[in-house]
Structure formats: structure tokens, C-alpha cells
């Protein structure tokens, strides 16, 4: 779960004199709904998580929103796919058989406390993953010793080339700021055919699952902005920190939402790292 907060840092430097400034922050003012919605071609991934944003200094547990009305509308037919709140996952989920179909545009709808939110996205075709390999490498510049994974595939599309790779190591998602592996076709995509090496070293007997997503541009830009925020150190030459621009819009009420809606195919591969002995 992504934690949303705007970090307020004020640094005043006048000649050789510094003044310490204390900011009084209202812990209860301006709490916004946080919506994280994923709609894919695999039913197990499909869910909508909702919570209330927290102040940066708030150490209380996340407050889950359990009483919203959530559904997805298929734009071509108008068919409604309802979601129900599932206590075990603390999220809203549809019937397991429901999933995204290539070429369809889907509209997310969330109604809560006299507020309504919408977002939409098209289900794009998945690229091709041919193989996943691993090889032991000695210590290199900016690379420690260990096993490194390469992904080989093809991306035959001339547009909408916005991708994310998620890495799950031994059932633990790599979710630090450096773990948002995003790429597009700015510098071409031939490197994918030659083998895309992940920047992680693994150990023998590690079980690694890779998930490749093809994103709509607004979801891709949201993640780019999120990464920039996570790397913002609040220094003199850094831009003022701000939450990423959500692709979820308020259609009733004046309260904006945080978070984003992702419509994407998912290609998943799992490998067990094992050394090859002669």
C-alpha cells in the first residue's frame, strides 16, 4: 500500500544565520480518499483498495473505507460489474470470473459519502516474453556479486509503449523507491530483444516472480511522478513536494481523490535460482 503525504520542509539560510521554523499541522484537516484500483486480464489481481489519507506525522493505523459503492462499467455495452467489500483482503473485489478483455475501455465508478469518482482506461494487448534466464556474475561497477536475471521478449507495438515490471522475491514484493521499474519507447525497445537485465542480485534458491504490465499513459505518468516524489529530498534545488496527479476525477462533490486506476494485461513468470554445476 502506498502511503500518501505531502512533506512540508522549509529551509531558510540568510548569510551565516539560520532560524528554526516550526510548522503547526492540523492532524484532521484535509483527509482525502485514497483509491488504488487494478483491473487486469487475471481475476486474482482485480481489486479496489480505499482508505483515508494520513498526515505525515500520524502514526495511527490506516483507516480503511468499507462502505463505498464500487463498480466498473464496460463502455462499449454499458454492462456493470459490481464489486463487494471483502474483509479478508480489506478491498473491494468482483466475481472471480470477471476480467478485462483486450480492446475494451473500462470506467471505474466509486460512490462514497455523497461523493462520486470516475476513471477510465483501455485494456491493451500484452507484449511477448520469450524467456527468463539467470547467470552468476562477479562484482561489477555498481553491481554486487550474485545471480542476475535477464528477460527476453518482443514489443511489436508502435504506440502505447508504457511498461512496469514488479519483482517479488520469495513472496515479498520489492516496493522501495528504487524498485519502481518503469520504461517506455523514448530510447527504443530493441534492448528487450537483447535481454533486459534487472538491477538486483539474487542468491541460490531464491524464488523470483516477475510481473510485466503494459499501462495507459496516465497511469504510467502517475508512477513517474510518484518516483520523483519518493526521491525528492526537500533540498534547496528540489521542487516543492506534491502528490502525483491522479487519473481518478471527482464527478460529484469538490473533494479530490488520491491514488490511480490501472487497466493492464499482466505477464507473469516465476523462476527458481539454481547454480549450474558441471
Check whether 123 has a pLDDT greater than 60: yes
177/101: higher pLDDT:
101
Check whether 131 has a pLDDT greater than 60: yes
Mean of the pLDDT values across residues 138-145?
Answer: 87
Q: What is the pLDDT of residue 36?
A: 97
Across the chain, mean pLDDT equals 87
Residue 31: pLDDT band (50, 70, 90) is confident
Q: Which range scores top for mean pLDDT: 52-61, 132-141, 145-154?
A: 145-154
- The share of the chain scoring above pLDDT 70, in percent, equals 83
Mean of the pLDDT values across residues 226-232?
Answer: 85
Check whether 236 has a pLDDT greater than 80: no
Between strands 207-214 and 266-272, the pairing is antiparallel
Contacts of residues 230-238 at CB distance under 8 Å and 24 or more positions apart, as own/partner, are 230/177, 230/180, 231/177, 232/7, 234/7, 234/9, 234/11, 235/11, 236/11, 236/13
The three three-digit cell numbers of residue 275, written as one number: 547454480
Residue 57: pLDDT band (50, 70, 90) is low
Check whether 237 has a pLDDT greater than 50: yes
Lowest model confidence (mean pLDDT) among 27-36, 119-128, 269-278: 27-36
Q: What is the pLDDT of residue 2?
A: 42
The three three-digit cell numbers of residue 186, written as one number: 523514448
Residue 187: pLDDT band (50, 70, 90) is confident
Under a CB-based contact definition with an 8 Å cutoff, are residues 200 and 148 in contact?
yes
- Taking the C-alpha atoms of residue 72 and residue 119, their distance in angstroms, rounded to an integer, is 10
Q: What is the pLDDT of residue 233?
A: 65
Q: What is the pLDDT of residue 234?
A: 63
Lowest model confidence (mean pLDDT) among 88-92, 242-246, 268-272: 242-246
Amino acid at each position: 500500500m502506498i502511503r500518501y503525504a505531502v512533506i512540508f520542509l522549509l529551509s531558510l539560510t540568510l548569510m551565516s544565520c539560520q532560524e528554526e521554523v516550526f510548522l503547526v499541522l492540523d492532524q484532521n484537516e484535509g483527509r482525502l480518499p485514497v483509491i488504488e484500483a487494478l483491473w487486469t486480464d487475471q481475476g486474482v489481481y482485480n481489486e479496489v483498495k480505499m482508505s483515508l489519507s494520513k498526515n505525515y506525522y500520524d502514526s495511527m493505523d490506516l483507516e480503511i473505507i468499507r462502505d463505498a459503492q464500487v463498480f466498473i462499467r464496460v463502455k462499449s455495452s454499458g454492462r456493470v460489474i459490481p464489486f463487494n467489500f471483502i474483509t479478508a483482503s480489506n478491498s473491494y473485489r468482483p466475481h472471480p470470473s470477471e476480467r478485462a478483455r483486450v480492446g475494451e475501455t473500462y470506467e471505474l465508478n466509486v460512490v462514497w459519502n455523497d461523493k462520486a469518482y470516475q476513471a477510465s482506461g483501455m485494456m491493451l494487448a500484452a507484449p511477448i516474453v520469450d524467456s527468463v534466464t539467470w547467470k552468476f556474475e562477479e562484482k561489477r561497477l555498481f553491481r554486487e556479486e550474485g545471480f542476475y536475471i535477464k528477460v527476453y521478449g518482443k514489443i511489436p507495438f508502435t504506440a502505447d509503449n508504457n511498461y512496469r515490471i514488479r519483482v517479488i522475491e520469495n513472496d515479498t514484493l520489492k516496493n522501495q523507491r528504487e524498485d519502481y521499474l518503469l520504461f517506455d519507447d523514448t530510447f527504443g525497445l530493441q534492448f528487450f530483444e537483447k535481454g533486459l537485465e534487472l538491477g538486483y542480485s539474487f542468491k541460490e534458491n531464491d524464488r523470483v516472480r516477475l510481473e510485466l504490465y503494459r499501462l495507459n499513459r496516465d497511469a504510467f505518468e502517475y508512477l513517474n511522478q510518484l518516483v520523483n516524489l519518493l526521491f525528492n529530498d526537500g533540498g534547496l534545488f528540489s521542487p516543492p513536494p506534491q502528490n502525483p496527479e491522479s487519473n481518478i476525477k471527482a464527478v460529484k462533490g469538490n473533494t479530490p481523490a488520491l491514488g490511480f486506476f490501472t487497466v493492464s494485461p499482466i505477464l507473469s513468470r516465476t523462476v527458481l535460482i539454481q547454480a549450474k554445476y558441471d
